[in-house]
Structure 1
Amino acid sequence: MPDPQQLLIFIAAGWLLNLTPGPDVLYIVTNALRSGARAGIVAGLGITAGCFVHVFAAALGVGALLAASATAFTLLKWIGAVYLVWIGVKLLVAAPPRQVADLQALARSEPASRLGAVFLGGFWTNVLNPKVAIFFLAFVPQFIAPDATDKATAFVLLGVLFNINSIPVNSGWALAAAWMARRDAVQRGMHWLDRAAGAMFIAFGARLALSDNPSR
């Protein structure tokens, strides 16, 4: 593990990276706006679970395979791009709430099955993005001491720490979005917010589809 100063830098860098808007943040905010803070927090937990997959896969060498193999990277990125576009299309065609009170009622009565779908949506949004795997391969090793006796274990521990530290940031996004959703103006414009979020998800999917392997 890094020394205390390096560890603080690692934690601070992780928080800044999690504050940066992207598909994960958009997924959390969209669910919190439509279904309340609980759905947004569950979305964030799904994303964190997806990050754990990348951490352990990288430790096992799968991340290195994605970085080295153009075919593996391209296959996963196209699956991820299609998934992001699919989420965007769903938002574009989503029916608007019939009245302002509908959103508040939905947030209070969100069924467990719906929350499970929100969790899985966040999970797959992250798992199917090969750039997340490449990110962990590029970011985490910078904080592993060159003389570390067990670099794989150090990698996993730092990756787990990064993911745990992301939970309060993701929850903060969810709480902020849910607070905004209580404003009448936001609720009345929810239909257009869905359209804007849908367009952004499609744009993220297109950008992922057109991206090159960052390790090349």
Structure 2
Amino acid sequence: MLYLDEFITIALVHLVAVASPGPDFAIVVRHSVAYGRRTAIVTSIGIGMAILLHVAYSLVGLSVVIATTPWLYNVISYLAAAYLVYLAIGALRSGPAKNPVTSTVAQVNADKMSDKKALWTGFLTNGLNPKATLFFLSLFTAIIDASTPFGVKLGYGLYLAVATGLWFCFLSYLLSTSKVAQLLGQKGYWLDRIMGVLLLGLAAKLVWV
């Protein structure tokens, strides 16, 4: 219980960060609408796994190196922006379902993305996000005390990964419930396109801000 206050602070900061619209949110919404619950949940698991990547390099101090090395940070930013543009193009090309009898876009497109691709999409979307690097840098330098044992820090990291994955799995489930799916109906591709525009905006922000 010695580190309970520190853990509560981390949990609250993480809750605000994970609930804020960003690349992870956009890609989970897009996959929920375009491919269905299973694909969105697998994507969410990939996002949670990517958190472990950020935790790993933060524990060994690499987040400081990345954040304080302009060219390295810029390279990551441009790679992330290029990947978001790639995802955005796919979203913007979404159109009406070919089968007018089917009630949801998710049902029509559910078999169009493999679990492996969904997992990698989630992992890369979060793993290449330099904003996540800055978040974990601030977390492991400003919030987590330097004297906190390595094992406790690792425990924090595991919590962040699991909590992130569960949050987006919940979002995936919520978006694919029958009532929400019926509400989206055959017009769900418009939400897909909106997510595409959001992804383009996030890519531009990475490059120019």
In structure 2, the CA distance between the partners of 1:162 and 1:140, relative to structure 1 (3 Å rule), is farther
Partner residue, 1:182: 181
Superposed CA deviations along residues 13-59 of structure 1, whole A, max 9, x for unmatched, are: 32232122211011111111122222111111111111111110122
Q: Matched residue of 1:33: which SS?
A: helix
Amino acid at match of 1:182: A
3-state DSSP class of the match of 2:176?
helix
Find the aligned partners of 1:110 and 1:161 in 2 and give their Cα distance.
32
Runs of 4+ in 1 over 4 A off after TM superposition: none
SS of equivalent residue, structure 1 residue 96: coil
Aligned residue in 2 for 1:173? 171
Q: Say how many residue pairs are matched.
A: 206
Report whether the alignment pairs 1:76 with 2:76.
yes
**What are structure 2's unaligned runs of at least 5 residues?**
none
Does structure 2 conserve the Cα–Cα contact (< 8 Å) formed by 1:35 and 1:103?
yes
Aligned to 1:214: none
1:100 deviates by 5.3
Deviation at 1:143, TM superposition (A): 4.0
Q: For residues 35 and 101 of structure 2, what CA distance do their matches in structure 1 show?
A: 12
Identity %: 21
Contact residue 31 and residue 39 of structure 2 kept, 8 A: yes
CA offset at residue 2 of structure 1? 5.4
The aligned runs of 1:75-94 (5 Å cut-off) are 75-94=75-94
CA distance in 2, matches of 1:44, 1:53: 15
2:44 aligned with 1:44:
yes
Partner of 1:203: 201
**Alpha-carbon distance in 2 for matches of 1:191, 1:28:** 14
Aligned to 2:160: 162
Residue matched to 2:111: 110
**CA RMSD, Structure 1 to Structure 2 (Å):** 2.3
Q: Flag structure 1 segments of 5+ consecutive residues without an equivalent.
A: 212-216
Aligned pairs for 1:12-161 (under 5 A) are: 12-98=12-98, 99=100, 101=102, 103=105, 105-106=107-108, 110=111, 114-148=114-148, 150=149, 152-161=150-159
Deviates more, 1:124-133 or 1:94-103: 94-103
**How far 1:5 sits from its partner (Å)?**
3.2
Secondary structure of 1:189's aligned partner: helix
Alignment TM-score, normalising by the size of structure 1: 0.85
